[in-house]
Structure 1
Amino acid sequence: MSTIGEALKALRTVLLMQDDVRFLKEAATAQSERLSRLAEAHGDLRDRVSRLEGMIEGAAMAAARQRRIEE
């Protein structure tokens, strides 16, 4: 009976491991999706910062030009 008991115990362990692997696979997929959304948000933020930098540089150039005209 101990051989059958050990075989059933080993089978139970394998089934539990399969559940764990399935859970890890789902967690990795979810993490991948979150990382993808984060990368997209980072790109959007980079674009917004670039536009703001352009506006600031344009305003600085206009202010410098205005000062030269007044002098």
Structure 2
Amino acid sequence: MAGFDDITKKAQEFLNDDKVKDALNSEQAEDISDKVLDGVAGVANTVTGGKFEEQIEGARSAADEKIGNE
């Protein structure tokens, strides 16, 4: 699980960068990011057999809050 935590931490650091925030704060980014995040979460759940579904959804939600305008 340490690897998953490392990935989550790096993703959060990336998404907290001011330049990244500005680029990602748009309706277009929101639409694209929702599709990408849904796809990634679905693949992650499939690969892990749903074992980490709650953690994956938490990471997906945290990323979604940082991207786009919703």
Whichever of the two has the greater Rg, that structure is 1
Q: When you count helix as a share of all residues, which structure comes out higher? A: 1
User: Greater RCO between the two (CA within 8 Å, min separation 6)?
Assistant: 2
Fold match (TM-score > 0.5): no
Which bin holds the TM-score, normalised by the shorter protein?
0.3 to 0.5
Question: Taking structure 2 as the reference length, what is the TM-score of the superposition?
Answer: 0.33
Give the alignment's TM-score, normalised by structure 1: 0.33
